[in-house]
Amino acid sequence: MVYQPAAGARDLLPLDVTQKRWIEERLQQVFHRWGYHRIITSTLERMDTLMAGEAIVRQMVIQLQNAQDQELGLRPELTASIARTVVTRMAGVTYPQRLYYNANVFRRNWESRHNRQQEYYQAGVELLGTGGLLANAEVLLLVADCLFALGLQDWHLILGEAGITRSLLNAFPAHLQGKVRQAIAHLDRITIDTLPLDDELRQRARIMLDLRGNSADVLQQVSSLNLDTEQQAAVNNLKSLVELLESEKKFPLILDLSLIQTIDYYTGIVFEVVSHTENQAQVLGRGGRYDQLLGLYHPQGENIPGIGFGLNIEDLYQVLSSTQQLPQAIPASNWLVVPETASANAAAFAYAQKLRASTELVRVEIDLGGRDAQAIHKYARDRQIAQIAWIKPDGVPTIEPLH
């Protein structure tokens, strides 16, 4: 019998891990430079935590059950888990809190496609305890800094505003709002044209469907929708954010007020990072503002503002693998330490440990015996080991550089 990973799971071999770590380490360096600290939350959560007040579709969660018949699930994303952790375990902290994560997430595949992936890796940040223009700008500029650090080309950021989009939907009959929302989310003109709407509402839906493109044009279009005072203030805030972002050089921005995320806890700006490769658009990450999510978990229901994003490591890998930027081999060892005789074994281990004690990372292997000198040389060449140290019983080494 041949044993395979579970359906939707996969193994990462040493080269896969090396390439994954190359991406993660560069992202981590950016997070550190911006003052963010790593948080690690439980992979397993209670279902009421994961559902985030019904903002997350239950079918997305891989569900489990423990001996106490509690409903548990594997996290499909990190924001809800971090929100729960902050309000229950970090009471009294000074805000803002800048947190980042690097973790796996799990999403149920309820489609019929065979062996579709259900485990993913993400890296991202959560900026908690502050709202407003500067916090929004920080997170978006941090996204851009991450992509620059990876050397990505041909990407852009699609920026929407969930609060504006949601308030514009309030003009539609309550029983049709869900269908209009789905039609706009999927750019479905046919549904808009066939829904039982009067001419004014149908035209409003068509305008909402087309609120995408150059920021100045989109902001002018949305202002033509007879906005109330609160809606106009939200548009003005969005305009200020766009102006700040566009003052930064090389920040490719598309404004899209038809952008509606699958996860429904966003209350303010929402965004997607999209890469173009071989005439194909690929979403590399998503994020947004969620000013009411932490209140769901707070003992007194206190709302704490938050904004964050998650980048998909697998999607970044696919884009970067075509550019040859990723490592093409696992790191080679610096030394192979070989005891010349059995009586030199202890001396060989001692010499290897001395080499490993360097302040910089030095990779040292011990030859485990059973090979002659020719086989040892072949092994060292195949593994691209830099040097061999032949150790005599008295501990004296003979150093042989390999080229």
Phi and psi dihedrals of 243, rounded to 5?
-60, -40
Task: Return the beta strands (E) in 52-118 as ranges.
Answer: 62-65, 71-74, 97-106
The torsion of the CA quartet 23, 25, 26, 29, rounded to 10 degrees, works out to 160
Residue 260 reports pLDDT greater than 80: no
- Please give the pLDDT value at position 23: 97
Which pair of tokens denotes residue 305?
């503002």
**For residue range 165-188, what is the model confidence (pLDDT) as tens digits?**
888 888 899 888 888 888 887 888
> What is the rounded average pLDDT for all residues in the chain?
89
Task: Return the beta strands (E) in 248-293 as ranges.
Answer: 253-256, 269-277, 280-289
pLDDT band for position 81 (cuts 50, 70, 90)? very high
Average pLDDT, integer, range 223-244: 87
- Please give the pLDDT value at position 67: 66
Average pLDDT, integer, range 224-247: 87
Cβ within 8 Å of residue 318, ≥6 positions away: 282
Average pLDDT, integer, range 116-125: 90
For residues 18 and 4, which has the higher predicted lDDT (pLDDT)? Answer: 18
Q: How many residues does the chain have?
A: 403
- Please give the pLDDT value at position 110: 56
DSSP element (H, E) containing 231: helix 229-246
Residue 112 reports pLDDT greater than 60: no
Residue 108 reports pLDDT greater than 50: yes
pLDDT band for position 249 (cuts 50, 70, 90)? low
Lowest mean pLDDT among 56-65, 135-144, 295-304: 56-65
Lowest mean pLDDT among 55-59, 140-144, 396-400: 55-59
Contact assessment for residue 139 and residue 117, using Cβ atoms and an 8 Å cutoff: no
Contact assessment for residue 167 and residue 226, using Cβ atoms and an 8 Å cutoff: no
Average pLDDT, integer, range 94-105: 96
Cβ within 8 Å of residue 391, ≥6 positions away: 337, 338, 339, 340, 344, 347, 348, 351, 397
The domain over range 335-401 is classified in CATH as 3.40.50.720 = no
Average pLDDT, integer, range 116-129: 92
- Domain map (residue ranges) of the chain: 14-321, 335-401
- Give the three-state DSSP class for 307: strand
From CA 164, how far away is CA 239, in angstroms rounded? 12
For residues 310 and 281, which has the higher predicted lDDT (pLDDT)? Answer: 310
From CA 77, how far away is CA 122, in angstroms rounded? 8
Phi and psi dihedrals of 197, rounded to 5?
-115, 150
Q: Which CATH number fits domain 14-321: 3.90.1150.50, 2.40.50.100, 3.30.930.10, 3.30.390.50?
A: 3.30.930.10
pLDDT band for position 111 (cuts 50, 70, 90)? low
Q: Which amino acid is at 114?
A: H
**For residue range 49-75, what is the model confidence (pLDDT) as tens digits?**
888 767 777 888 888 877 677 889 999
**For residue range 8-24, what is the model confidence (pLDDT) as tens digits?**
778 899 999 999 999 99
pLDDT band for position 1 (cuts 50, 70, 90)? low
**For residue range 28-51, what is the model confidence (pLDDT) as tens digits?**
999 999 999 999 999 998 988 888
From CA 388, how far away is CA 376, in angstroms rounded? 9
Which pair of tokens denotes residue 53?
């007040």
- Please give the pLDDT value at position 283: 92
From CA 97, how far away is CA 268, in angstroms rounded? 19
| pTM of the entire predicted model | 0.88
Q: Which residue has the tokens 């969930």?
A: 162
Which pair of tokens denotes residue 201?
């509402």
Q: Which residue has the tokens 């504006």?
A: 164
From CA 236, how far away is CA 230, in angstroms rounded? 10
Average pLDDT, integer, range 80-105: 94
Lowest mean pLDDT among 16-20, 214-218, 302-306, 310-314: 214-218
Lowest mean pLDDT among 169-178, 335-344, 366-375: 169-178
Residue 259 reports pLDDT greater than 70: yes
- Please give the pLDDT value at position 250: 67
Contact assessment for residue 100 and residue 68, using Cβ atoms and an 8 Å cutoff: no
Residue 293 reports pLDDT greater than 80: yes
